[in-house]
Amino acid sequence: MAACAMALSSSESSMLEAINPFCISLVNNLNSLGSSKPKSASAELGLSFSREGNIFLLRQLEKQPSKSL
């Protein structure tokens, strides 16, 4: 996993730093069950991302013909 972590961006690496302790704790808890531990286990983690920023929509105005009186 160390090889993969080197290719990650700093934000991805920071996410792994937050998730890794949870995963390590989960594995340690399962291992502490001894002969009672399950043959297999899985954990699913979900992440949500959002961004905010300024969005500018521009529209070119067409020249209107001037009306004479």
Query: Looking at residue 28, what is its pLDDT?
Result: 93
Contacts of 19 (CB under 8 A, 6+ apart): 45
Q: How far is CA 53 from the centre of its chain?
A: 18
pTM: 0.48
Our CA angle for 4, 7, 11, nearest 5°, is 105
- 30: buried, middle or exposed (CB in 10 Å: 19+, 13-18, 0-12)? middle
- Residue of 47, 2, 7, 44 lying closest to 23 (CA atoms): 44
* Interval 19-58: pLDDT, tens: 888 889 999 999 999 888 888 888 888 777 666 777 676 7
Query: Looking at residue 25, what is its pLDDT?
Result: 92
pLDDT for 5 beyond 50: no
